[in-house]
Amino acid sequence: MSKPVNYGDENQVADLKKKFKTKDDIDAEMLRQVLDTYAGRAVFWRLLGDCKLFESVPIVNDMAHMAASQARQNFGKEMMLRMLTVSVGSFNLARDEAIAREEKQK
């Protein structure tokens, strides 16, 4: 588990920038910190669900509605890709925790 970074502390941010050369690396470390928490994984999993990532895009006569549905799914796919890239273990844990939450609500 990585140590949280205080982004208000200029010295910590400077150290982080030295350690991680690119914006993508910094974003990955921040996402890793979010996914290290139960709440972070729960929110991330809910957002994936809100993107209807695991559902088919409805076929309707309204092309704008279909395009919006596809765009929402594309965003969800990008979120899932980032989650898997940063930590496959966090993805699996988030899934298992979501299943446990659903079982608890029954």
Question: Domain for residue 76, yes or no?
Answer: yes
Picking from 56, 34, 61, the residue whose alpha carbon sits closest to that of residue 45 is 34
Question: Domain for residue 52, yes or no?
Answer: yes
The 3-state DSSP class for residue 21 equals: coil
Distance CA 11, CA 54 (A): 42
The pLDDT-based confidence of 2 (bands split at 50, 70, 90) is low
pLDDT of residue 15: 80
Domain span including residue 73: 37-105
Number of domains in the chain: 1
Which structure tokens are listed for 2? 């990585």
Question: Domain for residue 17, yes or no?
Answer: no
CB 11 within 8 A of CB 69: no
pLDDT of residue 1: 52
Mean pLDDT within 86-100:
93
Question: Domain for residue 61, yes or no?
Answer: yes
Query: 5-62, pLDDT tens digit by residue?
Result: 777 888 888 887 777 677 888 888 899 999 999 999 999 999 999 998 878 877 778 8
Question: Domain for residue 7, yes or no?
Answer: no
pLDDT of residue 20: 64
Question: Domain for residue 4, yes or no?
Answer: no
